[in-house]
Amino acid sequence: MAVSLFSRPFFRIYGALWSLARPFLKRSARLADGWQERLIPSAWLAPDFSSSEEHAVDIWIQAASGGEARLAAAVCRSFPSDSALRMLITTWTRQGRDVLEQALPSLRESHPRLSVAVRFAPFDHPDIVRRAVALASPRLVALLETELWPGLLAACREKDIPVHVFNGRINSSTAHFGKLFPSLMADIAPSAVHAISRYDQKSFASMFPCPVDVMPNIKFDLAAKTLSDPLARQSHSFSASGPVFLFASVRQCEETRIPGQLARLYKAAPDAAVVIVPRHLHRVSAWKSVLEDLALMPVLASDLVPGRSLPRRHVLIWDHFGDLPQLYASARAVFVGGSFGQGGQNFLEPLAAGRVPCIGPSAHNFLWAMGSSDGSIPTLEEAGLLHVAHTPKDVIDIMLRLAATPGERQEVRELFRAWITPRLGGAALAARLMEKALASL
């Protein structure tokens, strides 16, 4: 058994900070949901699995939120249909949990021998995460994208549990943390990292002394799955007399930039129906307040009578999760947010729905999705499948042009299908690598 790392000064301070933060964490609407489960009670895995077995679960997959939860579900679907594995999938958010629980019925139908349990992720306090690892005793831990929690990594090292990072990518805060604690990174390094780009491969290799390779991004598989479905019909719970301008997955960085430009949009398109979809539902009230200050008369989707026409110059704030596919299908022009300072959000989804999106200048979290031109394979922007705006004013100008000539949705989908086909296979590769890792134990 490996020597425990929790006696190191870093983890003593780290645990103390988690303890000090607990009262504040409990006030968070996102973390208060499932609070007791996050503290890992003794019956954490009941009734799905028994903690009395040597290994309660075979694979523990950690997925941060809704997007990563979709990746986890895609990987599970990529195992052979007769796989008899016990899977624990944890997530930090209610959105992630809802995504996974909604996927369970079809997963159980297609993989009847695959046992899957969904839980909220444990807090990374050393005592809590050690208890979670002891109860689950997984044969393999799979971390998705950026879920590099020091406590979980150390607890797995303590129990000699192999950890693989799939769809791995590095954000600036993780890279900075790694530079501050190089010896710690060496001690808690995962067994292997499967990164989504050469850039991320290089960053992981500089942080961890473990094998690092490059895999296709599983998010391309999710987009391809949507492309394989029939074209979604243009439907939503409201009617509009004019074109729908959709501002999707907008984040806090857009709250002070986009609303002030809406008057220009209404002036150019008086019948426009503007729909705002915050990336995080806890920001709905903030968007409502900003719009009210600008006399733009916001309306919550939950307060709008189904079928009722949205009044002119009223902005609809979508406060439901999971409705973006239908909204993309209904929109004439789409802006995908998080791209004015927070690294962007997934702009492949509107393409799968047949709409060419506009984004802001900050999309470093999604550079993998743009493609890199080598003279033969164009980027999305070069292929005419993405528009990058440099200012909020540019966003409105581009969206007005898109609304005037939106193009045939099926034609956009076919162009996107041709672009994405060489980039598929990430989910199947992740499942094969997990099986290979289990077989080597």
Q: What angle do CA 150, 152, 158 make, to 5 degrees?
A: 100
CA 351 to CA 432: how far, in whole Å? 28
Q: Which of 31, 32, 44, 88 is nearest to 63 (CA)?
A: 88
What is the predicted pLDDT for the residue at 1?
Answer: 43
Query: Which pLDDT tens digits describe the chain residue by residue (441 residues)?
Result: 445 788 899 999 999 999 999 999 999 888 999 999 999 999 999 999 998 888 999 999 999 998 899 999 999 999 999 999 999 999 999 999 999 999 999 999 999 999 999 999 999 999 999 999 999 999 999 999 989 999 999 999 999 999 999 999 987 788 888 888 999 999 999 999 999 988 889 999 999 999 999 999 999 999 888 888 877 666 666 777 889 999 999 999 999 999 999 999 999 999 999 999 999 888 999 999 999 999 999 999 888 877 677 888 899 999 988 788 889 988 999 999 999 988 889 898 899 889 999 999 998 878 778 876 444 578 899 899 999 999 999 999 999 999 998 888 999 999 999 999 988 999 999 999 999 999 999
CA 270 to CA 57: how far, in whole Å? 57
Q: Which two tokens stand for residue 188?
A: 């808690």
Kindly report the backbone phi and psi dihedral angles of residue 250, in degrees, each rounded to the nearest multiple of 5, phi listed first.
Answer: -70, 145
Kindly report the backbone phi and psi dihedral angles of residue 309, in degrees, each rounded to the nearest multiple of 5, phi listed first.
Answer: -75, 135
What is the predicted pLDDT for the residue at 376?
Answer: 56
Helices (H) and strands (E) in the chain, counts: 20, 14
Quote the pTM value.
0.80
Q: Which of 2, 318, 341 is nearest to 186 (CA)?
A: 2
Half-sphere exposure of 436 (CA within 13 A, CB side): 8
Region label for 288, one of left (φ > 0), alpha (ψ between -120 and 50) or beta (otherwise): alpha
CA 347 to CA 359: how far, in whole Å? 8
- Looking at beta carbons, which pairs linking 303-312 to residues 24 or more positions away fall under 8 Å? 304/237, 304/238, 306/237, 306/238, 307/237, 307/238, 307/239, 308/238, 308/239, 309/238, 309/239, 309/240, 309/241, 310/238, 310/239, 310/240, 310/273, 312/241, 312/270, 312/271
Residue 40, classed as helix, strand or coil, is coil
Query: How many Cβ atoms sit within 10 Å of the Cβ of residue 358?
Result: 25
CA 362 to CA 355: how far, in whole Å? 20
H or E segment to which residue 166 belongs: strand 163-168
Residue 249, classed as helix, strand or coil, is strand
What is the predicted pLDDT for the residue at 373?
Answer: 46
For every residue of 250-281, DSSP letters joined together read E-HHHHTTSGGGHHHHHHH-TT-EEEEEESSG
Amino acid identity of 209?
P
CA 90 to CA 76: how far, in whole Å? 13
